[in-house]
Amino acid sequence: MIVMKFGGTSVEDAKAIDRAASIVRERLPQKPVVVVSAMAKVTDTLLKMAKAAGEGKRDAAMELSRGLRERHYNCTGELLGTGVFTRFHGELEAEFDALDELLRGIAAVGELTPRTTDLVASYGELLSSRLVSEAFQARGIAAAHVDSRECIVTDANHMKAAPLFDETNEQLGHTLKPLLDRNQVPVMGGFIGSTRGGVTTTIGRGGSDFSAAIVGAALGAAAIEIWTDVDGMLTTDPHFCPDARRIRVISFDEAAELAYFGAKVLHPATVLPAIQKNIPVWILNSRNPACEGTKITTRAPHCRNMFKAIAAKKRITIVNVAAPRMLLAHGFLKSIFEAFDRHRVPIDVVSTSEVSVSLTIDSNEAIPALAADLAKIADVKYEGRKAIVCLVGESLRETPGLAARVFGELSDLKVRMISQGASEINLTFVIEEEDVPGVVQRLHRTFFSELDPAVFA
């Protein structure tokens, strides 16, 4: 069997769901289980209305709910023939009435708990999965709707619940295997689950990829397909470099290094359950299904190119911390990191010398408070408008003279920080923000002008 996960934009309207049906039909011999996100932007809207209700703004919440209701009704009308439409419209109506009831309750109490937030948020995937299942049936696919809350068992850490794998795997096998044996196509919502006691939970924003990986790992899928709206992962950002090329195959570790720069596609950590079981994960474009996409594998195949990708991130600030009068004493780094931790500012790149430390951060709001705190223990300077450039590739491990080649290429450039070795597969450095397009173009030309056809399209 395989898992086919359709993200929000791949089920955003009737046209998208129709395309998804055609894509699934092609894969029927592979016995797909379909996992869907809420229609695009629906989760955002649900969270907004929950928040409004929690603040006692009942009318605002109901207004948002009315908008969603209409969108789902319209989509259903376009997808289903009259007979089915009448029955299913009634079912949708009941769901939206229940949602409104819930919102009125939240508004009356004037308090929104994480547990209630999950209940509201769950409507996105509940509705999309039922709608997709009906639409598939109407298109001759033997779809069977499965309520994910009966399979994905989680702890009670609402809004970011963790799956209890033993129970979940058992439930998934129990529920899905008989359907697959009868050549049915299970259709289930991502993102949602429930506690042992049956309370609805969600597993974190963007969690449908995680759901797909959990299902695939539980059933020993031959592949997991993440259907989205791009052709896959690219050698670099095409905004900087129009000749960026598609990466055919990338290792999990490489994809994880790149996630920080372009998490738009998918965060590899969410597919870890699949990778641990050696199940390949494909990123595919539902608007261009003929494109073979990007395959993420546990181990990278040999690649003749030194790098798989170049990523860049702007809006970086360097924080230079110098220990006053003393060399880096025992505990100095600890106290610096603690200050960052207190202000919840994540650190990206670090480089140290005997007497100072440079760190990069990508958020600016917390800087004044952090600065005041750091000033108590050290001399601190800030430099804004910097950028991180990162080169990633498994071949870095065994390539000598690599830094020389990269920086030789950039010999006229002011490089502010360098970091290599932390992961063995990435070389990271910090430059001025305005240098990014030029640097990325030069490096791309140098390292990607000849491409290993097994790895790049």
Residues that bind ligand ASP (CB under 6 A): 7-8, 37-38, 43, 124, 190-191, 205-208
Q: How many helices (H) and strands (E) does the chain have?
A: 13, 17
Nearest distance from C-beta of residue 84 to ligand ASP, angstroms: 25
In order, the DSSP letters of 399-444 are: -TTHHHHHHHHTTTS---EEEESSSSSEEEEEEEGGGHHHHHHHHH
Nearest distance from C-beta of residue 233 to ligand ASP, angstroms: 18
| Helix, coil or strand: residue 349 | coil
Contacts of 260 (CB under 8 A, 6+ apart): 311, 313, 348
* Partner that binds at residue 38, options Mg ion, ligand ASP, none, CB closer than 5 to 8 Å by kind: ligand ASP
Stretch that binds Mg ion, among 152-160, 205-213, 276-284, 439-447 (CB under 5 A): 205-213
Task: State which residue, 3 or 370, has the beta carbon closest to Mg ion.
Answer: 3
* Partner that binds at residue 316, options ligand ASP, Mg ion, none, CB closer than 5 to 8 Å by kind: none
Task: State which residue, 231 or 435, has the beta carbon closest to Mg ion.
Answer: 231
Nearest distance from C-beta of residue 5 to Mg ion, angstroms: 9
Task: State which residue, 47 or 328, has the beta carbon closest to ligand ASP.
Answer: 47
**Could you tell me the CA-to-CA distances from 367 to 204, 379, 421, 432 in Å, in that order?**
27, 15, 28, 19
Nearest distance from C-beta of residue 116 to Mg ion, angstroms: 23
Nearest distance from C-beta of residue 41 to ligand ASP, angstroms: 8
Stretch that binds Mg ion, among 2-10, 53-61, 189-197, 330-338 (CB under 5 A): 2-10
Nearest distance from C-beta of residue 246 to ligand ASP, angstroms: 23
Q: Tell me the C-alpha distance between 194 and 168, whole Å.
A: 10
Q: Tell me the C-alpha distance between 254 and 276, whole Å.
A: 15
Alpha helices in 34-164 (DSSP H): 42-54, 58-79, 82-109, 114-138
Nearest distance from C-beta of residue 263 to ligand ASP, angstroms: 12
Q: Does 204 bind Mg ion (CB under 5 A)?
A: no
- Using Cβ positions, the residue closest to Mg ion within the complex turns out to be 206
Q: Tell me the C-alpha distance between 197 and 211, whole Å.
A: 20
Task: State which residue, 209 or 394, has the beta carbon closest to Mg ion.
Answer: 209
Task: State which residue, 270 or 294, has the beta carbon closest to ligand ASP.
Answer: 270
Cβ count near 166 (within 10 Å): 9
Cβ contact 233:246 at 8 Å: yes
Contacts of 433 (CB under 8 A, 6+ apart): 314, 315, 316, 385, 386, 387
Binding-site size for Mg ion (CB under 5 A) equals 2
Task: State which residue, 193 or 393, has the beta carbon closest to ligand ASP.
Answer: 193
Contacts of 87 (CB under 8 A, 6+ apart): none
Q: Tell me the C-alpha distance between 55 and 48, whole Å.
A: 11
Nearest distance from C-beta of residue 121 to ligand ASP, angstroms: 8
Task: State which residue, 66 or 205, has the beta carbon closest to Mg ion.
Answer: 205
Nearest distance from C-beta of residue 171 to Mg ion, angstroms: 24
Length of the chain: 457
The closest alpha carbon to 17, from 101, 184, 130, 96, belongs to 130
Q: Does 206 bind Mg ion (CB under 5 A)?
A: yes
Q: Which helix (H) or strand (E) holds 252?
A: helix 252-262
Site map (CB under 5 A) of Mg ion, residues 4-43, x = contact = ---x------------------------------------
Bridge-based pairing state of the strands 379-392 and 309-322: antiparallel
Task: State which residue, 51 or 405, has the beta carbon closest to ligand ASP.
Answer: 51
- Chain centroid offset of residue 309 CA: 18
* Partner that binds at residue 190, options Mg ion, ligand ASP, none, CB closer than 5 to 8 Å by kind: ligand ASP
* Partner that binds at residue 216, options Mg ion, ligand ASP, none, CB closer than 5 to 8 Å by kind: none
* Partner that binds at residue 270, options ligand ASP, Mg ion, none, CB closer than 5 to 8 Å by kind: none
Task: State which residue, 56 or 206, has the beta carbon closest to ligand ASP.
Answer: 206
Residues lying near Mg ion in the complex (CB under 5 A) are found at 7, 206
